[in-house]
Structure 1
Amino acid sequence: MAPPVMSTPRDPATTGANGERSVAVRRDGPWWRRFLSFIGPGYLVAVGYMDPGNWATDLGGGAAYGYALLWIIGLSSCMAMLLQILSARLGIVAQADLAQLCRRHASRRSAVAQWLLCEIAICACDLAEVIGTAIALKLLFGIPLTYGVVLTALDVFAILWLQQRGFRYLEAFIMALLGVIFVCFAINLALAEPAWRAVAAGFIPSTETVTDPGMLYLAIGIIGATVMPHNLYLHSSTVQTRRFSTSDNGKRKALAFAAADVVVALGLAFLVNAAILITSAAVFHTSGHADIADLEQAYKLLGPLTGTALASILFGVALLAAGLSSSVTATLAGQIVMEGFVQIKLPPWARRLITRSVAIVPALFVTIVYGDHGVTSLLILSQVILSLQLPFAMWPLIRYTSTPAIMGRFATPRPVAWLAWTMMAVIVSLNGVLLSRL
């Protein structure tokens, strides 16, 4: 067996924000060895599907409505898989990310408008990470919430160190944190002892989700928290870190491995999201605590209601890991959209501080004025904002991946494209119903 192609050192000055073609891939040998060299980009986007924003919506949905919203998690996870596969296809075939293609194929005014909308989504996502990390620091170490919000700005140094080490180190760090989240919630799920028949029934769609305003608000929040708009830009860029053959055969193999990476990574994210809602339903809803949507309340009650303090500790550790990991991908996405849309290049530390500052200001204001309850409401609102912004990222993605002039023979088949357009129509309709009831 021939040895794999060796990676050359990453040069940040020439490879851009994400080290394009800096990671070697195996071009022969067993399929599983070749697949392992492609694993990574899918997990970077999977982080966004289990960040602190997901926790608030999943906890609120499980506590208030039991297992009834599990089908929304399943639906949104399937939607996420399809959209991320399309995003990966765009990056591999077109050799450009979604932001770059928007700049090339849209008017200057349209590109700037799309960039500003995407920046709003990134700030909303970062707001959730700020709040989630600050709450975790308070729960685990007793750090006041206002101090914790300010301390979240320090993660810029960890991100800088990881980016200097190389893209594979960044991916390994993210995957390790995801492993922590998964293990913590697997144990908590076992401690919660859910009613598995009711869990299975929760995956059956219900019209009550649309007719009940409270359930609809949480359902849209779950969709916004699960299908992250900035991840579509991020994934189309990070798949280009792999040094695969750019021949049609090489692209075809890269597409297959990238799709497998997405399915495995987002399958893990689905299990974590489902575990959060199931745990909330089993522990809080069945015990009469239907009003639990606050992360701190959940932390305090989880131990007593399950009979072991370990459940609360695991909850706090997983929340901290979720906040730290998702902050990394928000920074990467911010660099990608800024460089792609308007060709403004900033040092990673400057980009990170700008994004984090925009998130810290409202979090500090709400914390000081309204206290912890206001912070939780802001956390859920940030996820609804993401859902409202999602169609503006979906439209160019579906359009470009369906265009033969851009994708050639790899253009999205018409049935798949129509499925994607239908998904977008459903999200727009749900958003319209929500806005009409506000």
Structure 2
Amino acid sequence: MLKNYFKNIGPGPLVAAAFIGPGTVTICTLAGVGFGFALLWAMIFSIIATIVLQEMSARLGIITQKGLSEIIRFEIKNPLVRAFAIILILSAIVIGNAAYEAGNISGGILGLETIFENPVFNLGSVTINSFSLIIGIVAFIVLYIGNYKILERALVTLVILMSISFLIAAVLTKPDVTEILNGIFSFKLPKGSLLVVIGLIGTTVVPYNLFLHASLVKEKWKNASDMKYARKDTIIAVVLGGMVSMCIIIAAAAIQSEHINSAADLALGLEPLFGSLSKYVLAIGLFAAGITSAITAPLAAAYVATGCLGWSSHMRSIKFRAVWILVLGLGILFSSIGIKSIEIIKFAQVTNGLLLPLVAGFLIWVMNKSSILGVYKNTRVQNFIAFIVLGIAVFLGLKSILKVFEIL
């Protein structure tokens, strides 16, 4: 039975790998340190919202055998609206992922630096971080091979490694199960926790994953009869990813310190309480989180760009490779020499804030079109849940934009 499951495992773990990056690890750490178990309910909501949207994305990809960006290009008939949508998507996903890629690579570096001394070297007046080059080279090799099965196996291995690491870290803290259940079902919003809740949902319900999932399922499955495998794959992977985030919150809740600001601090903070093992376990998890996101972010950008511009989305095509090489290259450059392009990241946050509700709305609209999906269009129950998620997406988008402009 286990062998059969692994045979039918698909893009789900890649989606989980994409949303559990250094940003997710950091916000979960801050949630645990600042509010204990009180915000675990936000992760339960995030898991449900992600499953709903990703299942729709996967269904669209399997039935149409097209990526989401291709569907947008074909289905929006008004040329001005279509041009606006394509520019917004390219800005948010391609430029945004290039901006965030440095953070993904830096997250992997933090994991390595917790265990090893980082050998840096000088190139003229510039100091180069060698760990960023190592992570970048690993990501480059996995992507350049251009074989979906190899990519899938590499990321599934890293996701399993990451999951085990954070689960062990949570178990080491010996949490009170009653308090965990209370955090899941209490729906409390402690004072000062609103932005953290928004962060927890925003790092789990990720716009680029909707594009990535629709493109990847057609690499794995070709027939409508495969939908049952895609649904199972999506549910298991997203629940597993959500549990990883919850484990980070639980581990962080054990730390009674105001000086924990990142996952690296969490790794060091657990060491005095639970011994050196906890440091190594968390370091491995953080490294896996960083490198998986460092691989999936350029991949998503390539699928989006090729779909929007009508290029070939074959993983070995020149234009497809050119996009992910650009995104990965900028990430390696920014992380290795320590550049923090704040303005680009702010721009990416604004475009992503606009993109999530727009893409979620478009996805719901398309999923109700019999001309595209036939009998596989949304049911009333699916629409009901989807519109609740859309309302939250609009709220999140507005909050993130207001936060960037320091209005909130």
Instruction: Provide the rounded CA distance (Å) in 1 between the counterparts of 2:306 and 2:83.
Output: 16
Per the alignment, in what secondary structure is the counterpart of residue 185 of structure 2? coil
2:235 is aligned with 1:257: no
- For 1:187-336, list aligned pairs within 5 A: 187-206=168-187, 208=189, 212=191, 214-245=192-223, 251=224, 253-282=225-254, 284=255, 287=256, 289-306=257-274, 308-336=275-303
Which one of 141, 154, 162 corresponds to residue 158 of structure 1? 141
Aligned residue in 1 for 2:151: 170
Instruction: Provide the rounded CA distance (Å) in 2 between the counterparts of 1:387 and 1:300.
Output: 33
Aligned residue in 1 for 2:83: 109
Please report how far the alpha carbon of residue 53 of structure 1 lies from its aligned counterpart in structure 2 after TM superposition. Answer: 1.4
Aligned residue in 2 for 1:27: none
Aligned residue in 1 for 2:309: 342
Please report how far the alpha carbon of residue 273 of structure 1 lies from its aligned counterpart in structure 2 after TM superposition. Answer: 0.7
Instruction: Provide the rounded CA distance (Å) in 2 between the counterparts of 1:318 and 1:380.
Output: 27
Which one of 356, 359, 368 corresponds to residue 402 of structure 1? 368
Per the alignment, in what secondary structure is the counterpart of residue 44 of structure 1? helix
- For 1:382-401, list aligned pairs within 5 A: 386=352, 389-401=355-367
Instruction: Provide the rounded CA distance (Å) in 1 between the counterparts of 2:347 and 2:291.
Output: 21
Instruction: Provide the rounded CA distance (Å) in 1 between the counterparts of 2:193 and 2:388.
Output: 22
Aligned residue in 1 for 2:61: 91
Q: Is the 8 A contact 1:90 1:407 kept in 2?
A: yes
Per the alignment, in what secondary structure is the counterpart of residue 402 of structure 1? coil
Alpha carbons of 1:221 and 1:139: their partners in 2 closer, same or farther (altered >3 Å)?
same
2:100 is aligned with 1:128: no
Greater shift, 319-328 or 108-117, is seen at: 108-117
Please report how far the alpha carbon of residue 37 of structure 1 lies from its aligned counterpart in structure 2 after TM superposition. Answer: 3.5
What code does the residue aligned with 1:109 have?
A: A
Instruction: Provide the rounded CA distance (Å) in 2 between the counterparts of 1:139 and 1:406.
Output: 50
1:123-161 C-alpha deviation (Å, 9 max, x unpaired) = 354243122012123222221686044554323432245
Instruction: Provide the rounded CA distance (Å) in 1 between the counterparts of 2:65 and 2:388.
Output: 27
Aligned residue in 2 for 1:74: 44
Instruction: Provide the rounded CA distance (Å) in 2 between the counterparts of 1:191 and 1:73.
Output: 21
Instruction: Provide the rounded CA distance (Å) in 1 between the counterparts of 2:398 and 2:329.
Output: 31
Q: Is the 8 A contact 2:367 2:378 kept in 1?
A: yes
Aligned residue in 2 for 1:100: 70
Aligned residue in 2 for 1:16: none
1:35-70 C-alpha deviation (Å, 9 max, x unpaired) = 544312111111123221110000011001111111
Per the alignment, in what secondary structure is the counterpart of residue 79 of structure 1? helix
Instruction: Provide the rounded CA distance (Å) in 2 between the counterparts of 1:91 and 1:131.
Output: 32
What code does the residue aligned with 2:174 have?
A: E
Q: Is the 8 A contact 2:57 2:68 kept in 1?
A: yes
Q: Is the 8 A contact 1:221 1:380 kept in 2?
A: no
Q: Is the 8 A contact 2:111 2:283 kept in 1?
A: yes
Alpha carbons of 1:387 and 1:171: their partners in 2 closer, same or farther (altered >3 Å)?
same
Q: Is the 8 A contact 2:61 2:218 kept in 1?
A: yes
Instruction: Provide the rounded CA distance (Å) in 2 between the counterparts of 1:79 and 1:380.
Output: 25
Instruction: Provide the rounded CA distance (Å) in 1 between the counterparts of 2:114 and 2:294.
Output: 19
Per the alignment, in what secondary structure is the counterpart of residue 166 of structure 2? helix
Q: Is the 8 A contact 1:156 1:353 kept in 2?
A: no
Alpha carbons of 1:124 and 1:417: their partners in 2 closer, same or farther (altered >3 Å)?
farther
Q: Is the 8 A contact 1:401 1:411 kept in 2?
A: yes
Instruction: Provide the rounded CA distance (Å) in 2 between the counterparts of 1:352 and 1:298.
Output: 32
TM-score normalised by length of structure 2 = 0.85
Q: CA RMSD for the aligned pairs? A: 2.9
Please report how far the alpha carbon of residue 271 of structure 1 lies from its aligned counterpart in structure 2 after TM superposition. Answer: 1.3
Which one of 88, 103, 117 corresponds to residue 142 of structure 1? 117
Q: Is the 8 A contact 1:224 1:386 kept in 2?
A: no
Instruction: Provide the rounded CA distance (Å) in 2 between the counterparts of 1:202 and 1:236.
Output: 33
Per the alignment, in what secondary structure is the counterpart of residue 202 of structure 1? helix
Aligned residue in 1 for 2:385: 419
Instruction: Provide the rounded CA distance (Å) in 2 between the counterparts of 1:384 and 1:138.
Output: 32
Q: Is the 8 A contact 2:306 2:320 kept in 1?
A: no
1:324-352 C-alpha deviation (Å, 9 max, x unpaired) = 22222222211110110013464555323
Which one of 326, 341, 359 corresponds to residue 354 of structure 1? 326
What code does the residue aligned with 1:49 have?
A: F
Aligned residues: 385
Per the alignment, in what secondary structure is the counterpart of residue 208 of structure 1? coil
Alpha carbons of 1:431 and 1:206: their partners in 2 closer, same or farther (altered >3 Å)?
farther
2:94 is aligned with 1:119: yes
Alpha carbons of 1:97 and 1:71: their partners in 2 closer, same or farther (altered >3 Å)?
same
Identity between Structure 1 and Structure 2 (%) = 26
Alpha carbons of 1:404 and 1:34: their partners in 2 closer, same or farther (altered >3 Å)?
farther
Please report how far the alpha carbon of residue 281 of structure 1 lies from its aligned counterpart in structure 2 after TM superposition. Answer: 0.5
What code does the residue aligned with 2:137 have?
A: L
Alpha carbons of 1:243 and 1:281: their partners in 2 closer, same or farther (altered >3 Å)?
closer
TM-score normalised by length of structure 1 = 0.79
Instruction: Provide the rounded CA distance (Å) in 2 between the counterparts of 1:217 and 1:384.
Output: 16
Instruction: Provide the rounded CA distance (Å) in 2 between the counterparts of 1:319 and 1:339.
Output: 31
1:95-149 C-alpha deviation (Å, 9 max, x unpaired) = 2110100111223413233322222442354243122012123222221686044
Please report how far the alpha carbon of residue 360 of structure 1 lies from its aligned counterpart in structure 2 after TM superposition. Answer: 4.8
Please report how far the alpha carbon of residue 206 of structure 1 lies from its aligned counterpart in structure 2 after TM superposition. Answer: 3.4
Instruction: Provide the rounded CA distance (Å) in 1 between the counterparts of 2:251 and 2:188.
Output: 24
Aligned residue in 2 for 1:9: none
What code does the residue aligned with 1:93 have?
A: I
Aligned residue in 1 for 2:163: 182
